[in-house]
Amino acid sequence: MAGRPTFYITTPIYYVNDVPHIGHAYTTLACDVLARFKRLDGYDVMFLTGTDEHGQKVAKSAATAGKTPIEFCDMVSQNFRDLLPKMNFSNNDFIRTTESRHHTACQDIWNKLEEAGFIYLDGYSGWYSVRDEAFYGEDELIDGEEGERLAPTRAPVEWVEEPSYFFRLSAMEDKLLAHYEKYPDAILPESRRNEVLSFVRSGLRDLSISRTSFDWGVPVPRNSDHIMYVWLDALTNYLTAIGYPDTECDSFRKYWPADIHVVGKDILRFHAVYWPAFLMAAGLEPPKRVFAHGWWTNEGEKISKSLGNIIDPLELIKSYGLDQVRYFLMREVPFGRDGDFSRQAFVHRINGDLANDLGNLAQRSLSMIAKNCGATMPQPGIFTDDDIRILEAAGDILETLRGHFDRQTIHRGLAKIWRVVRDANAYFAFQEPWALKKTDPDRMNTVLYVTAEVIRQLVILTQPVMPDSCTILLNQLGVGADARDFASLGQNGRVLPGTPLPKPQGVFPRLVEEEDA
Ligand code: MSP
């Protein structure tokens, strides 16, 4: 019998020079939502995140903190791990590049590249940005306000001259272009794909892949004066976690090539150009997709430590609730575009979509069932056209949602669910079950049953984004724990007349607007 289909999804591994902020939480959240969706849809999912602990940037931060690099990494990496349960992230593994399994994988990939003739020793003299951990050509630099040279990201650069191994990136140009041509969805959104194509078409220079002026990294095999360039080291984490260099092991065979690497737009080039080039040169398949999302600003301003406007996800959760934060981040901004975080937009979105739309629908119908149907799921009569229409609208969502989630347009998937939430509210208001109570109690039962069944479907589909709130709602609907995946959406999973229901409780309280507070 064929096994379940597999799905391997990764976040970037985060530099341990920083405390986790909303930007990091955002990427991992999007991956969590996609991973949960696939699990509910029957996939065997591997969802990986972790920390990027080598390189000059981390070494410098450790020195500034008066700690050894590893002491510093242990401490900061822990902050990232602490965030996982607090955000309800469902990752299957957490990788640290300082682990020995990763050391082995890095050295192996180096050997493969060398054996294939893609590495040569030379010297690097040029610009380097420690903040970006990236080499820049003279032609890429821009002038800062004081005439200083800056990376295109506005990060400071320094002049570096040292012996270095190089990777023959220039030899991979045609192969990369053929790959993008063959797999038009390998880089999404499309605007990002175009950016990558024009970068590659403009010609690729060989890439420096070792450093000698510091030693916080994985030593180059057979020449430990050099450590591996932190990006070659870091990218390899995606292989390490599934058992590389053992390419015959179960997990590697199951999960490679990765289905998707989700990254911020800032690190697209590393993932969509260097990474597939390394892999193809080493005789491995490139990932099926790299999706680059946009950046969040805070009330219109770039988020940065120096501006002191970092948004702490834990603070947000404390003020607004976890699922509210998860929903807002996934719904407010089209996934792939830049977005601005504002308290006003937050309160508006949560009160509109959650408190008014979904929350109200559930609260009103479940309270009526509790009061008028002996706190058990009512027995419906014959369905009218209106009943059938709303049941079918709910039943049709999954197919559309799959399409959106397969292209990572998560916001559009949610918009689709919420159109039916609103239709269900309109149905409920139009049917006036409260008025039917006296005139036609059987019809009231039918309307309440249909509404409960529609809510069941909506909530099952919303679980990837708001797992805790959906669990509470499904408990209130009397849905068994084994009947909450997408396979249960159909007729067989329908809410069962006669099921005793617990006392309903509100799940999405209204948030107070700041000016009213
Ligand atoms: N260590 C590298 C990645 C190596 S992956 C093999 C790195 N780390 S990072 O800590 O700087 O994290 C970068 C990622 O954090 C970005 O790509 C993005 O996913 C996320 N974000 C950081 N700030 C962000 C915003 N302000 N907005 C949205 N996401 C941002 O780069």
Q: pLDDT grade, residue 301 (50/70/90)?
A: confident
Alpha-carbon span 204 to 275, nearest angstrom: 14
pLDDT for the residue numbered 305: 76
**CA–CA distances in Å: residue 10 to residues 31, 48, 163, 228, 289:** 7, 5, 33, 22, 11
Q: What is the Å distance from ligand 1's center to 134 Cα?
A: 14
Tell me what pLDDT residue 517 has: 46
Of 311, 294, 300, 293, the C-alpha closest to 340 is 300
State which amino acid sits at residue 241.
A
Tell me, what's the pLDDT at 303?
Answer: 85
Span 109-161, pLDDT tens digits:
999 999 999 999 999 999 999 999 999 999 999 999 998 999 998 999 999 99
pLDDT digits (tens, 9 = 90+) for 48-66: 999 999 999 999 999 999 9
User: DSSP code of 422?
Assistant: H
Question: Which residue's alpha carbon is nearest to atom 17 within ligand 1?
Answer: 264
- What are the pLDDT digits (tens) for 467-516? 999 999 999 999 999 999 999 999 888 999 999 999 999 999 999 876 55
pLDDT for 144 equals 93
Domains and CATH numbers, the chain: 343-516 (1.10.730.10)
- Lining residues, ligand 1, CB within 6 Å: 12-15, 23-24, 26-27, 52, 234-235, 263-264, 266-267, 295-296, 303
- What's the rounded mean pLDDT across residues 68-89? 96
CA distance 474 to 456: 7
Ligand 1 binding pocket mutation candidate from 9, 10, 11, 15 (most atoms within 8 A of CB): 15
Closest C-alpha to ligand 1, atom 8: 14
Whole-number pLDDT of residue 493 = 87
* Residues 177-229: tens digit of each pLDDT: 999 999 999 999 999 999 999 999 999 999 999 999 999 999 999 999 999 99
| pLDDT number for residue 233 | 98
Give residue-wise pLDDT tens across range 330-341.
999 999 999 999
Helix (H) or strand (E) holding 59: helix 56-64
CA 106 → CA 7, 216, 232, 244, distances in Å? Answer: 24, 14, 8, 9
DSSP-derived 3-state class of residue 67: coil
Average pLDDT of the chain, as a whole number: 96
Ligand 1 centre distance from Cα of residue 379 (Å): 52
